[in-house]
Amino acid sequence: GLLYYTKIRKDKKYVVTIRDKAKRLLIPFIFFTLVTFVLKYIFNPLMKRPVELSFKQIINSVLYPVSNPLGEMWFIITLFIIFLFYPVFKWSL
């Protein structure tokens, strides 16, 4: 169901599908992650999991979604990674 109702079913090119998924998944994810970083940094003394506003921690929060200040959003990166492998899924179907 997940792959069937997307552009994969409509035989769109791989690059078009991934670009669309990046716009729909990664851009909002990155935006909300950065906003959360700033808010958690401002209120650091009150946070259970304080953050440091550094490039390294921002990159780690994208590469390792569990370390993201919005740890509850791990599934967005996972969903995007699944779509990166869609040619394999399409071939297997």
pLDDT in tens, the chain (93 residues): 555 555 555 667 778 878 888 888 888 888 888 888 888 888 988 888 777 778 888 787 777 777 777 777 888 888 888 888 877 877 777
pLDDT on residue 41: 86
Domain count, the chain: 1
Has residue 58 been placed in a domain? yes
pTM for the complete prediction?
0.68
Q: Confirm whether 46 is domain-assigned.
A: yes
Say which residues have a Cβ less than 8 Å from residue 33's Cβ, sequence separation at least 6.
58, 61, 62, 68, 69, 70, 73
pLDDT, position 13 = 79
In a domain, 63, yes or no: yes
Distance CA 3, CA 24 (A): 15
Amino acid 12: pLDDT: 73
Give me the domain span that covers residue 24.
14-92
